[in-house]
Amino acid sequence: MKACLLRTPAPVTTNPLEFADAPAPQPGKGEVLLRVSVCGVCRTDLHVVEGELPPRKSPVIPGHQIVATVEKLGEGAHRFAKGARVGVPWLHSADLTCEFCRSGRENLCDHPTFTGYTVDGGYAEYAVAPEAFVYPIPESFADEQAAPLLCAGIIGFRCLRLSGIQRGSRLAFYGFGSAAVVAIQVARHWGAEVYACTRGKKHQQLAMDFGAVWADEATVEPPEKLDAAIIFAPAGELVPPALKALKKGGVLVLGGIHMSPIPSFDYNLLYQERIIRSVANNTRQDGEDFLRAAAEIPVRTQVTVFPLREANRALNDLKSDRINGAAVLDCRQ
């Protein structure tokens, strides 16, 4: 099969992915072989390719927003019929036996595997995944539209849940990329008011187009005190201004898997029971609940499609903010 291989992490400007022939994977016990249709390009892929996440497999095929059809069933796999359309997210598997899995927190599993990082992902014509950790894709979404839902969408949904927002809540997003584009639609559906604190007129306009009540640079304090804020940008320096924008008792959710160092700040920014919490991965329940909600709302995604062989270009465009919405690789050769 054709695949994009990462042998050694390097700056994306050096085009580190090699478009090459690789052996097609075979499904193991409980796994399905998937014919990849499209794979979303996520900011986490940048962290894998550039090495902010320490390398765990070499070569590795990145990509964890896979939309695919089931091509072959491994031993004991029976959940899906051949030809069924499914999605594969970042959490590739959890052991289901550790204390976190046993208490309904498989997103915090002690022995997880991650798609496109510790195991091969979807920048390829084929991939394998445990059938228990893939999701049926609602029929109303085209392949390209579904891809950004699988990471940006699900993680954004978990961030919203953990933010504790309710109808009438005021919520800010710091950074307005593909996760925020999906999350704002869910937040508004839930009746929250969204403020966008993001770099550049283009992203601010995008936020206003999706129904934000206010948009400006992250250094500008929103006109109202907020019940919650979510930082989607991987920039630790946003933590103090985001805390400053919160009401007493407000919640700040950090949505990234990687973040630059957080500068020290005055205790007054945190006092009065403000909360900072990170979000790690997602449970299968988050994924199922989100995809159901996304189909009901229905969530619109904005995508730019690149051919698989141009994955390096997609990553470069993502890194330099040249993409509105989400980049998606077309893996059908």
Under the rule (CB under 5 A), what is the footprint of Zn ion? 42, 44, 94-95, 98, 101, 109, 151
Nearest distance from residue 147's CB to Zn ion, in Å?
11
Nearest distance from residue 111's CB to Zn ion, in Å?
6
Choice between 99 and 209, CB closer to Zn ion: 99
Q: What is the DSSP string of 179-191?
A: HHHHHHHHHHHTT
- 129 within 8 A of 65, measured Cβ to Cβ: no
Task: Tell me how far apart the alpha carbons of residues 194 and 298 are, in angstroms, rounded to a whole number.
Answer: 18
Nearest distance from residue 223's CB to Zn ion, in Å?
32
- The neighbour count for residue 210, using CB atoms within 10 Å, is 21
- 297 within 8 A of 185, measured Cβ to Cβ: yes
Choice between 42 and 67, CB closer to Zn ion: 42
Nearest distance from residue 171's CB to Zn ion, in Å?
21
Choice between 198 and 283, CB closer to Zn ion: 283
Task: Tell me how far apart the alpha carbons of residues 154 and 119 are, in angstroms, rounded to a whole number.
Answer: 20
Nearest distance from residue 40's CB to Zn ion, in Å?
8
Residue 136: cis peptide before it, omega within 30 degrees of 0 = no
- 241 within 8 A of 231, measured Cβ to Cβ: no
Nearest distance from residue 98's CB to Zn ion, in Å?
3
- 19 within 8 A of 71, measured Cβ to Cβ: no
Structure tokens given for 139? 């029929």
- 39 within 8 A of 329, measured Cβ to Cβ: yes
Distances (CA, A) of 321 to 52, 166, 185, 316: 19, 31, 21, 9
Choice between 105 and 199, CB closer to Zn ion: 105
Task: Tell me how far apart the alpha carbons of residues 150 and 167 are, in angstroms, rounded to a whole number.
Answer: 25
Choice between 226 and 257, CB closer to Zn ion: 257
Choice between 49 and 226, CB closer to Zn ion: 49
Beta strands in the chain (DSSP E): 2-6, 17-21, 31-41, 66-73, 85-88, 91-93, 113-114, 126-130, 135-136, 170-174, 193-197, 214-216, 226-231, 246-254, 275-278, 303-307, 326-330
Nearest distance from residue 179's CB to Zn ion, in Å?
8
One-letter identity of residue 119: V
Q: Across the strands, what pairs with 246?
A: 226
For CA atoms 97, 99, 103, 109, give the dihedral sign.
Answer: negative
Nearest distance from residue 271's CB to Zn ion, in Å?
34
Choice between 42 and 128, CB closer to Zn ion: 42
Choice between 219 and 285, CB closer to Zn ion: 285
Nearest distance from residue 198's CB to Zn ion, in Å?
19
Choice between 192 and 279, CB closer to Zn ion: 279
